[in-house]
Amino acid sequence: MLKSFLDVKPDSHFSIQNLPYGVFRLKVGSRPVIGVAIGDYVLDLSILEDKGFFQRTFLGSKKVFGKSSLNAFMECGKETWKQVRTIIQIALSDGNPLLRDDKDLQKIALIPAKDTVMCMPVEIGDYTDFYSSKEHATNVGTMFRGKDNALMPNWLHIPIAYHGRASSIVVSGTNIVRPKGQTKPADADSPIFGPTKLLDFELEMGFFIGTGNSLGEPIAIEKTYDHIFGMVLVNDWSARDIQTWEYQPLGPFLAKNFATSISPWVVTMDALEPFKVNGPVQDPEPLPYLRTQNETFDITLDVMLKTESEKKAVKISGSNFKYLYWNIQQQLAHHTVNGCNTKAGDMMASGTISGPDKDSYGSMLELTWRGENPVKLPGGEERKFLNDGDTLTISGYCQGDGYKVGFGEVSGKILTAK
């Protein structure tokens, strides 16, 4: 097994088999640059770039790592991503002296993660949120339309989605202010205005477009992986009472656009390749433009809740990316089949990822079944939905043989409405 000369613990999310990309700055103050996570360190790629490490790749003398976003690197394409990743793995391996024996270079290029601040990794141009979990769609449909009409007639034929906004996507650690909006209580004759009373999380994952497509030129499903750079964890916060009132007839608006949180490290598709598994059986068979090898990824997902009175965070849900009915290839192929263009930095999210059991549901709406069965916490507290002061954290990882390929976490604390 490939090993690093650095001491990387087996339970670290950031093994040499991973090497996710992110944008960071030093806590003591510096401009943001691009790095990769390795164990408890961040490797500054801008320094390696200045030292000529990547001159023999397709990058040549082009400088892409001294920037405040990954966009320029993402635009370089799949072959460049592979070359750069290989060079970084070789440089960090225990059998290569290039970085291992250069203590001066290590001092400036390898920075303890505790001394860094993570920034938004990508300049996100467009954002699309899918609705791809059959379990989640069935649960929500059952609540509002009954078991016999849980799934809408189109759901098993088409990856449902809405085109969202990118302006309020924030990096992990950003506080979330409780949103206000219109709601209509069941016993009221007219709507009222005020803070949401039903603030929720949504356990999701997202992927970034690396190289886009031109307007009018769809991405064929067999070519989708050529365009996908990597993946992140996503919490698509939701105000359920605002959503119930406003979603008819056009769908989510203020209930969603106040904030969406993402993890700072982007895990590449090459790192995820060993963890491909078969996805759920799709019946009926999708139309030809959506037919794939039915591949997805085995990514363990955990949801932790920390209240102001609890000393430690408590796990309230555990799911897996492999439960998604519609995979990311199908999502991208469908998104562009009408000729819609994409570009580097566009983000597409999975929609809530719920599993088959109650403990694997991906939202408070499902975990408490519309608040009827509150989540009971060890200290005696209960939660129907999220309270001010609560911190919600999602983590995710793939388990290898003696190593992990992880995403770190995405976390946010709820603040009182302004």
Q: Is residue 227 among the annotated active site residues?
A: no
CA distances from 70 to 31, 202, 255, 375 (A): 14, 26, 29, 39
Q: What whole-number distance in Å separates Cα of residue 51 and Cα of residue 70? A: 19
Which strands form 314-320's sheet, in the order they lie side by side?
176-177, 404-415, 391-399, 300-306, 314-320
List CB contacts of 154: < 8 A, sequence separation 6 or more: 160
Phi-psi region of 356 (alpha: psi -120 to 50; beta: other; left: phi over 0): alpha
Structure tokens at 296: 């997805």
Between CA 403 and CA 12 the distance in angstroms is 7
Q: Are 179 and 140 in contact, with CB atoms under 8 Å apart?
A: no
CA–CA dist 3, 224 (Å, integer): 31
- Which of 58, 27, 62, 28 is closest to 46 using CA atoms? 62
Helix ranges (DSSP H) in 181-228: none
Strands of 145-294 (E only): list them. 161-163, 169-171, 176-177, 180-183, 192-195, 199-200, 203-209, 228-235, 238-239, 260-262, 267-268, 276-278
Catalytic residue among 13, 136, 227, 334: 136
The position carrying tokens 């886009």 is: 212
Which residues form the catalytic set?
Answer: 136
